[in-house]
Amino acid sequence: MMKILPIEQNQSTNLFIQAPYQKEKIFLSSPHMTGNEMKYINEAFDTNWIAPIGPNVDKFEAELAAYTGAAAGAALSSGTAAIHLALHLLGVGKGDRVFCSSLTFVASANPILYEGAEPVFIDAEEQTWNMSPAALRKAFVASAEEGKLPKAVIVVNLYGQSAQMDELLEICNEYGVPIIEDAAESLGSLYKGRSSGTLGKFGIYSFNGNKIITASSGGMLISNDAQALVKARFLASQAKDPAPYYKHHEVGYNYRMSNILAGVGRAQLEAIEDRVNARRAIYARYAEAFKDIEAIEFQPELEDTRSNRWLSAFTLNTDITALTPENIKRALETEEIESRNIWNPLHQQELFKDAPFYKDGDGEAVSEKIFRCGLCLPSGSNMTAAQQNRVIRVIKNLFNN
């Protein structure tokens, strides 16, 4: 029979947990459970709703709609799927044009390609790091001259900060083009008292593992057009027509959220305000700790908005420091601390090399500058003060030497 060693004699376990040179890893943003997740998962098991349909899915949709103030929500397998369905519902198809923020994760724009449409990328501005109204205006003027307006505009709320929605909406309304708000990173954020994600025709949230709340994976499409969401749920379940046999008249997708994962999402949503407060407190501690380091400029919070501060992100003023984001990232890495570059603007990606791009101003694109000078710090709501102090010490040491 195999002899099981007591744990203290198990060398590999000991090495990992106790060796003094093995520092505890600090992650950028790791899942933070509330303790209620198993309750809803067990409900799913007890009632045998182990399917992409069931009470947790219905309740998660209703609870998220209530929290954000949207008329309704459709729970989906991912935020990317939600963007895809939003484009589909707006009739975006082959050869159509779609405007999209450039400074974002590739998932914001991939669904444009799924539909065979053509992305046009819009630069960022300095006040929120999101879509520049000036650049959006230029793109619309050029498109109108060509006689080919976009079918939709995808506006991203980066790292939890809302874009200048009033200005963007005014331009889009002038041309009669709907906005899809990519609020994957901004659940819990506010724009002039309204929930981030509810200002456009459609909004999308993501519950991927590193987002402010997670269902391990998943997404939600929200809208004040409840009828459009009925259509979204239909498309997300293989577009099965109501009939006593299998009947289909249009293409569908397998995009519904699992009833088990919706249970995780429900428990997580109960804690959203706590999570926002925790991330904002983490940001506030960074801001306080680095207030004397002039070269560090955090992502601004626009007046009359509340960012959930999903990630505390800053740019380095390279006019006054010789340090680069890469220097900081490497120093943190040595101490087992994860940090991340800002999203690499999509207009710079090989994948989108043929896509037009409109800049905010005349010099270096704002999105390129934020990418070149920026960094995201560990911001998880479950990070302890001691852990955050480790992050702060490493960065302060770099600037003091």
Ligand X SMILES: *Cc1c(COP(=O)(O)O)cnc(C)c1O
Interface contacts to ligand X, rule CB under 6 A: 78-80, 104-105, 107-108, 156, 182, 184-185, 206, 208, 219
Instruction: Give least dist CB 197 to ligand X, A.
Output: 11
Q: Which residue is nearest to ligand X (CB)?
A: 79
Q: In what order do the strands lie in the sheet with 190-191?
A: 194-195, 190-191, 305-306
By C-beta, is 257 or 293 nearer to ligand X?
257
Verify whether residue 201 is a known catalytic residue.
no
Nearest of 275, 228, 237 to residue 258 by alpha carbon:
237
Nearest of 206, 166, 164, 216 to residue 182 by alpha carbon:
206
Q: Taking the CA of residue 336 as centre, how many other CA atoms within 13 Å lie in the half-sphere pointing to its CB?
A: 8
Nearest of 224, 215, 266, 289 to residue 72 by alpha carbon:
224
What is the bridge-based pairing of β-strands 97-101 and 152-156? parallel
Instruction: Give least dist CB 182 to ligand X, A.
Output: 5
By C-beta, is 189 or 387 nearer to ligand X?
189
Instruction: Give least dist CB 395 to ligand X, A.
Output: 24
By C-beta, is 70 or 221 nearer to ligand X?
221
d(Cα 90, Cα 198) in Å, to the nearest integer?
A: 16
Nearest of 350, 303, 310, 341 to residue 103 by alpha carbon:
341
Query: How many beta carbons lie within 10 A of that of residue 253, not counting itself?
Result: 18
By C-beta, is 183 or 395 nearer to ligand X?
183
What is the bridge-based pairing of β-strands 190-191 and 305-306? antiparallel
Q: In sequence order, which residues have a C-beta less than 8 Å from that of residue 83 and are 6 or more positions away?
A: 107, 108, 111, 154, 180, 182, 204
Instruction: Give least dist CB 294 to ligand X, A.
Output: 30
Dihedral of CA 322/327/332/335: which sign?
A: negative
Instruction: Give least dist CB 343 to ligand X, A.
Output: 8
> Of how many residues is the chain composed?
401
By C-beta, is 110 or 127 nearer to ligand X?
110
Ramachandran sector of residue 197 (left: φ over 0; alpha: ψ -120 to 50; beta: rest): left
Q: Residue 279 in contact with residue 376, Cβ under 8 Å? A: no
Nearest of 371, 341, 370, 360 to residue 122 by alpha carbon:
360
By C-beta, is 77 or 259 nearer to ligand X?
77
| CA 321 to chain centroid | 30
Instruction: Give least dist CB 24 to ligand X, A.
Output: 26
E strands in 97-169? 97-101, 118-122, 152-156
By C-beta, is 203 or 219 nearer to ligand X?
219
Instruction: Give least dist CB 292 to ligand X, A.
Output: 32
Query: How many beta carbons lie within 10 A of that of residue 181, not counting itself?
Result: 29
Catalytic residue among 151, 211, 359, 369: 211
Instruction: Give least dist CB 85 to ligand X, A.
Output: 12
What is the bridge-based pairing of β-strands 202-206 and 179-182? parallel
Residues annotated as catalytic are 211
